[in-house]
Amino acid sequence: MQKLKADLLVIGAGSGGLSVAAGAVQMGASVILLEGHRMGGDCLNFGCVPSKALIASGKAAHAQAHAQIYGVADVTPQVDYAAAKDHVADVIAQIEPVDSQERFEGLGVRVIRDYGTFVSPTEVQAGDHLITARRIVIATGSSPLVPPIPGLDTVPYETNETIFELREKPGHLLIIGGGPIGMEMAQAHRRLGCDVTVIEGMKVLGQDDPELTAVVTEQFRAEGIGIAEDAMAAEVRGATGAIEVETKDGRVFRGTHLLMAVGRKPNTDRLDLETAGIETTRRGIRVNASMRTTNRRVYAIGDVAGGLQFTHMAGYHAGLIIRSALLALPARERTDHIPWVTYTDPELAHVGLTEAQARAEHGGNLKVIRFPYNHNDRAIAERRTAGLIKVMVVRGRPVGTSIVGAQAGEMISLWAFVIANKLKMKHVAAMVVPYPTLSEINKRAAGAYFSPKLFDSAMVKRIVGFVQRWLP
């Protein structure tokens, strides 16, 4: 057994773990990084990167089939599903070097390609290495949750960890789960020529504003995607090419392939956390506001910490660890400024409180400002007028923003900045944006907040009248 010591041990080479390791070693700490699977973790290999690449393929096919509105003839796209997967693999390959073992070893990180297990509160074993460190960061991420649906153990199915390696185009893809992963994959596959049915036990995109999700589901149905809500899967049967999903209310859905997309579970099984005195909850490892576990030497970040499951959240956590574990500076997690995006078409983006949450928290002090895409000149020019923005405002300060529409994921960044820095609507109203851009929607929302005060105010009209009478 080889004994190793370091200032910092990072378990997991996903986005959060890599960010901690890179930052720490460049600031002078000695760092050991453990990864038993693929460098880059879920985001690079099975999540954000491949899904957005496949979505891009679907968008290209959809554009060919819906060009007539721009004065260009519609054509039937010739989709090569296997070639689309080659595109996905190539995108991963181009990004891979940034997350590679070679790069991190070049930075000075000791990389060990094995899983880590606690053998005491202060020691982790990885293969034939026994590691002690002043601080340990668990960044092991999450994996697809596969519920114990009767029959599922005998029926072939895909998850986000396998769907991107599938080379044969599904004839009819059944997707159990109407969250972001399920909905993104549903639209991408439909646009690539598959029949698709989404089977959701409650409501699709149930964590988002229902007024906005209705815009997405309307587009899905227009594209021919089947959406079955309040459809809890009770039994799965069949084989590849002939799969059936029966729901508790007796409905039966038939397809050729099955994708399970019902949620995520934290990757903690290999760690033996009990030996380290680390408590867990149903959602993941228990942490305090500084991301410290019940073992004061150990931190947990990203998906495994049981909070918001986004790559950028793991990166944010990494910054907290750098402040706390390396610099001994105060660092406390906040989530009110964390945005999230579902990359459907139209996109769905959100930061802060939803309208329902804001009404519950702020009551009569809340003002909800809306502005539609169909009043934006750029959206009209590009025929992308489906959508709207909603800004939840309390005493002049935005507490949440929801956007559905073209490039919503890009436009939400402004509101994440505003909320992170506790700015007010006057600061958004003061900016000048180029014309014509979709970003004007953000500016116009701020204008809509102030318009009643300016144009419907008797006092303002009296002042203007007085000035005009006496102005030389």
183 is in an annotated binding site: yes
Closest by alpha carbon to 23, among 285, 354, 314?
Answer: 314
- Structure tokens belonging to residue 205: 């995109």
Q: Are residues 257 and 282 in the same domain?
A: no
User: Percent of the chain beyond pLDDT 90?
Assistant: 94
Q: Which amino acid makes up residue 234? A: A
**248 and 185 share a domain?**
yes
Please report, for the domain that includes residue 447, its CATH number.
3.30.390.30
Q: Is the pLDDT of residue 264 over 60?
A: yes
Confidence band, pLDDT 50/70/90 cuts, at residue 1: confident
pLDDT at 86 over 70: yes
315 is in an annotated binding site: no
Task: Flag whether pLDDT at 454 surpasses 60.
Answer: no
Same domain, 191 and 247: yes
- What's the pLDDT score for residue 373? 98
Angle between helices 210-222 and 180-191 (to 10 degrees): 20
- pLDDT band at residue 326, thresholds of 50, 70 and 90? confident
Q: Is 106 annotated as a binding residue?
A: no
User: Cα dihedral sign for 199, 205, 209, 212?
Assistant: negative
235 in any annotated domain: yes
Place of tokens 């601080």: 135
Q: Which of 247, 263, 279 is the last residue of a domain?
A: 263
The answer to the question of whether 306 is labelled as a binding residue is: no
Domain end (from 212, 241, 263):
263
Do the annotations mark residue 120 as ligand-binding?
A: no
Rounded Cα distance, 309 and 381, in Å: 36
Joined tokens for residue 64: 């060919």
**What is the C-alpha to C-alpha distance for residues 412 and 353, in angstroms, rounded to an integer?**
13
Q: Is 142 annotated as ligand-binding?
A: yes
The answer to whether position 465 is within a domain reads no
| Sheet (strand 226-228) strand order | 226-228, 195-199, 172-176, 257-260
| Confidence band, pLDDT 50/70/90 cuts, at residue 298 | very high
Give per-residue pLDDT as tens, 7-56: 999 999 999 999 999 999 999 999 999 999 999 999 999 999 999 999 99
Helix (H, G, I), strand (E, B) or coil at 57: helix
**Do 62 and 76 touch, CB atoms closer than 8 A?**
no
- Report the mean per-residue pLDDT for the chain: 96
The reply to whether 353 and 413 lie within a common domain is yes
Domain annotation covers residue 472 = no
| The predicted structure's pLDDT at residue 469 | 73
Angle between helices 440-455 and 458-470 (to 10 degrees): 80
If DSSP codes are grouped into helix, strand and coil, which group holds residue 280?
strand
Q: Is residue 18 part of a domain?
A: yes
pLDDT at 301: 98
442-447: which pairs have CB atoms within 8 A and are 24 or more residues apart?
442/389, 442/411, 442/414, 442/415, 444/371, 444/375, 444/376, 445/369, 445/370, 445/371, 445/389, 445/391, 446/369, 446/391
Between the alpha carbon of residue 188 and those of residues 348, 439, 443, the distances in Å are 15, 26, 31
Regarding whether 274 and 245 lie in a shared domain, the answer is: no
Mark whether 395 and 432 lie in a shared domain.
yes
**What is the model's pLDDT at position 457?**
61
Q: Is residue 396 part of a domain?
A: yes
Instruction: Say if 219 falls within a structural domain.
Output: yes
Beta bridge partners of 100: none
Instruction: Tell me if 180 is assigned to a ligand binding site.
Output: yes
DSSP string computed for 141-172: -EEE-----TTGGGS--B-TTTGGG--SPPSE
Triad 300, 268, 295: Cα angle to 5°: 45
DSSP string for 422-461 = T--HHHHHH----SS-TTHHHHHHHHHHHHHHHHS-HHHH
In the DSSP assignment, the letter for residue 462 is H
Q: Which domain holds residue 354?
A: 340-455
Q: Is 42 annotated as a binding residue?
A: no
Does 236 lie in the same domain as 217?
A: yes
* 159: CATH: 3.50.50.60
Residue 168 confidence (pLDDT) above 70: yes
Which residues in 78-91 are b (16+ Cβ under 10 Å) and which e?
ebebeebbebbeeb
Instruction: Confirm whether 404 is domain-assigned.
Output: yes
For the chain, what is the domain count? 3
Residues 269 and 255 in one domain: no
C-alpha radius of gyration, the chain, whole number: 25
Same domain for 185 and 242, yes or no, is: yes
- Three-state DSSP class for 238? strand
pLDDT digits (tens, 9 = 90+) for 173-185: 999 999 999 999 9
Rounded CA-CA distance 129/134 in Å is 16
> In the chain, pLDDT over 70 holds for what percent of residues?
97
136 and 279 together in one domain:
yes
Write out the H or E segment, with its range, that includes residue 274. Answer: none
User: What is the distance between the alpha carbons of residues 38 and 358, in angstroms, rounded to a whole number?
Assistant: 40
182 is in an annotated binding site: yes
pLDDT at site 458: 66
Do the annotations mark residue 290 as ligand-binding?
no
pLDDT at 105 over 90: yes
Angle, to 10 degrees, between the axis of helix 311-321 and the axis of helix 15-26? 30
Instruction: Write down the pLDDT at residue 471.
Output: 72
Q: Are residues 371 and 310 in the same domain?
A: no
Q: Per the annotation, does 303 bind a ligand? A: yes
Is the predicted pLDDT of residue 169 greater than 70, yes or no? yes
Residue environment code for 400-420, b if the CB has 16+ CB neighbours within 10 A, otherwise e: bbbbbbbbbbebbebbbebbe
Number of H helices, E strands in the chain: 14, 21
In a domain, 177, yes or no: yes
With bands split at pLDDT 50, 70 and 90, how would you rate the model's confidence at 470? confident
40 is in an annotated binding site: no
Surface-to-core class of residue 186, CB atoms within 10 Å of its CB (0-12 exposed, 13-18 middle, 19+ buried) = buried
Annotated binding-site residue? 238:
no
**Tokens of residue 95, six digits:** 């990004």
pLDDT at 171: 98
Q: Are residues 317 and 416 in the same domain?
A: no
> What pLDDT is attached to residue 328?
87
Question: Does the annotation place 363 within a ligand binding site?
Answer: no
Residues 6+ apart with CB under 8 A from 364: none
Amino acid at 78: Q
> Is pTM, for the whole model, over 0.75?
yes
Angle of helix 48-65 versus helix 180-191 axis, rounded to 10:
40
455 pLDDT above the threshold of 60: no
Q: How confident is the model at residue 411 (pLDDT cuts 50, 70, 90)?
A: very high
Structural domain ending residue among the three candidates 275, 295, 326:
326
